[in-house]
Amino acid sequence: MAGKPVRIVVVARRFHCGAVLCGRRIFAERFDGDVLAPWARRTARLDQIVHHLGLALGGRPAASFAKRLMLPVSNDTLLRVVRRRGSPRFVPPSVIGIDDWAWRRNQRYGTIICDLERRKTIALLPDREPTTAQAWLTDQPQIGVVARDRGGGYALAAAKALPGAIQVADRWHLMENASRAFLDAVRKSMRSIRAVLGAATIDPELLTAAERIQYEGYLRREDTNAVILGLAKDGTTIKEIVRRTGHSRGVVRKVLRGQRSDVFRVRESSLDFYLPWLDAQWTAGERNATALWRRLKNQGFHGCLRIVTEWATRRPAFRSSER
């Protein structure tokens, strides 16, 4: 209690039976089952906490967490409490969700079935084969709605086992597919969007060394995309494009589907808002980075001197290239 170990001494009355033929000689007072069960080593409230810890975390993790909560209990005891209480009574579901889950990612998968009305897992199947799911669904003819992913395996199993059930796409996969379609649409239109916003102009002379390397890679990819699109426009087959360019079939398909239209964008800087003012000051002859930084501070700039200094060190090369 409050971080201190507390020992509760319970004084219970005992009664002695004087009947000669009575098999029980001593009777002890009983507590209510919601308080203390007979021969219990924990109160009912603490036993309930131990049971929930075992259900939520398992054996060793729950034992470690219980120790931090000042409830020392072993992992074997946690599992024993879970087994003793058993599982709740199985209620035949009418609306279920079915999907795969990983025993070990990329190696072994199973099937999880959930009761969507009661929001609980009701079955874990050893694999994700349609025949295994079909066998389980056949024993539950009362199911009326099956929520699943867009794959064909579970669709085939549900159609064979429950021909009268309605199959729907679950909410997670709907949101996942919708978000992916939205991102693809935005990605394909990003070049036009940035051109409208005026953010598509890149000045190579003002890029940092790391940004310049990325920009050169971006230009190489743009040249590759232009060559592939030009060959496809002339009617060249994908196999012939792969042979001529030396790129893989996957890369060629991505370019033709518009999935490789990269947009180069430099890292946002806290100076972006003040760049017009800085350009005007630089053109007027103010070349002292420290002085520029102090004047920016008066205008509300919160960046450090290093940012202004790095910007200034790239300006002379830009001006000399202009001349």
For the stretch 28-43, pLDDT in tens is 777 887 888 877 888 8
Domain-located, residue 179: no
Residues 59 and 104 in one domain: no
Q: How far is it, in rounded angstroms, from Cα 37 to Cα 188?
A: 67
Question: What is the per-residue pLDDT for 289?
Answer: 85
Residue 116: CB partners within 8 Å, gap ≥ 6?
A: 93, 95, 96, 97, 145, 147
Low-confidence ranges of the chain (pLDDT < 70): 190-191, 193-208, 259, 261-269, 316-323
Q: How many CA atoms lie within 13 A of 226 on its CB side?
A: 6
pLDDT tens figures, 85-108: 877 778 889 999 999 988 888 888
Report the CATH number at residue 144.
3.30.420.10
Domain boundary among the residues 85, 118, 140 is at 85
Same domain flag for 73 and 122: no
Q: Is residue 247 part of a domain?
A: no
pLDDT at 213: 79
pLDDT for res 270: 74
Give the chain's domain count: 3
Please tell me whether residues 100 and 65 are part of one structural domain.
no
Distance CA 143, CA 154 (A): 14
Q: Within this chain, do residues 102 and 165 fall inside the same structural domain, yes or no? A: yes
Does residue 133 form part of some domain?
yes
Structure confidence at residue 94 (pLDDT): 92
Query: Do 32 and 79 sit in the same domain of this protein?
Result: yes
Cα separation, 184 vs 177, whole angstroms: 11
The per-residue pLDDT for 318 is 44
For residue 281, give both structure tokens.
């000051």
81 and 117 both lie in a single domain? no
Q: Quickly list DSSP for 241-259.
A: HHHHH---HHHHHHHHTT-
In a domain? residue 2: no
- Residue 121 belongs to domain spanning: 95-169
Asked if residue 41 is part of any domain, the answer here is yes
Instruction: Indicate whether 317 belongs to any domain.
Output: yes
Residue 228: inside a domain: no
pLDDT score recorded for residue 59:
85
- Separation in Å, CA 136 to CA 91, 151, 162, 219, 266: 15, 18, 11, 55, 54
- What tokens appear for 17 in the block? 């039976």
Domain closes at, from 169, 189, 219 = 169
Contact of 173 with 154, CB cutoff 8 Å = no
Q: Determine, yes or no, domain membership for 63.
A: yes
Starting at the edge strand found earlier in the chain, the sheet holding 108-115 runs 120-125, 108-115, 95-104, 145-148, 166-169
Alpha helices in the chain (DSSP H): 44-57, 60-68, 75-85, 130-138, 152-161, 171-197, 209-233, 238-245, 249-256, 275-283, 289-298, 305-322
Taking a C-beta distance cutoff of 8 angstroms, is the pair 81, 50 a contact? yes
Backbone angles phi, psi at 198, to 5 degrees: 80, 20
Which residue among 169, 191, 220 closes a domain? 169
Quick one: CA dihedral 38, 41, 44, 50, positive or negative? Answer: negative
